[in-house]
Amino acid sequence: MRDFVLKRVVALVLPFVTMLGLYVIFHGHLSPGGSFSGGIITGLSMIAFSLVFGLDRSQEKISERMMTLIESFGALWYGAMGLVGILRGTSFLMNKGAGIPLGEPGKLYSGGLILLITLGVGLKVASTMVTLFVSLMEEEEE
Amino acid sequence: MSNKIAIILLVCIGLVLLLAISELPLYGAPDNSAQNYVSERYIEGAVSDTGALNMVSAIVIDYRAYDTLIETTVLFTAVIAVFMVLKKAPDRKGEPK
């Protein structure tokens, strides 16, 4: 499983896969895709890394504790973005009605809170996938 | 005997369900109850309301943001469930067993 060709190919392809995942997350409000699909692609790139190079080396890159922190941060970030609406005097998770600048449709900065929420949820989905995978993998190794 | 009762019951339930399906409106018919002012409002107002060109994102994260908020919590719950089953609790010295 851990032979030379596989390692080289994965090392070549992985940066592009991660890039594609981040692209899908960041362009969630412009093109098909969004937080869930982009997060899955980003998470799968990390899972492929730990499948090929081993769990220890992937834990050196990003520890499991870091992953759980990112995951909790993603959920809290969504709630915090919802509180912006309350602080501006309107209802929870309000976007346009709370006076948030929407930007020009079609540009990267547009859609107000949508971009920020997509970013948080994307990180959360990616870290969820990795956390689930790592805990199942650890159980198998023992 | 109980097999026969079960078969009769299943046929009855199936007939009722088929009757219900025959009453459904045609798929894509213009006077469907699904094509009402809600979908019109989404299609016409998504860009001006949210500034997002991707209408799916506009609906999922703006119009129905509550739904997505709880959806992310579902993932969180899944991870907690896996941790509860698989992770071993550290003993009193704080070291994993």
Q: Indicate if the pLDDT at residue B94 is higher than 70.
A: no
How distant is the Cα of A10 from the closest Cα of chain B, in angstroms? 27
Q: Phi and psi for B3 in degrees, rounded to 5?
A: -60, -45
Answer for the pair A40, A126: CB distance below 8 angstroms, yes or no: yes
Between CA A76 and CA B57, with CA B73 as vertex, the angle to 5 degrees is 85
Answer for the pair A52, A10: CB distance below 8 angstroms, yes or no: yes
Which spans in chain B are helix H? 2-22, 37-50, 55-57, 65-86
How distant is the Cα of A35 from the closest Cα of chain B, in angstroms? 9
Q: What is the pLDDT of residues B67-89, one digit of tens each?
A: 999 988 898 898 888 888 887 76
Answer for the pair A92, A5: CB distance below 8 angstroms, yes or no: no
Interchain pair B51, A103: CB under 8 A: yes
Residues of A in contact with B96 (CB under 8 A): none
Q: Which residues of B21-53 are buried (b: 16+ CB within 10 A; e: fewer)?
A: eeeeeeeeeeeeeeeeeeeeeeeeebbebbbbb
Q: Find the chain B residues whose C-beta atoms sit closer than 8 A to any C-beta of A.
A: 47, 49-54, 56-58, 60-62, 65-66, 68-69, 72-73, 75-76, 78-79, 82-83, 86-87
Q: Centre a 10 Å sphere on the Cβ of residue B14 and count the other Cβ atoms it contains.
A: 10
Q: What is the ipTM of this complex?
A: 0.77
Coil, helix or strand at residue B88: coil
Interchain pair A95, B62: CB under 8 A: yes
pTM of the predicted model over 0.90: no
Amino acid B10: pLDDT: 96
Q: What is the pLDDT of residues A95-124, one digit of tens each?
A: 888 878 888 888 888 878 888 899 999 999
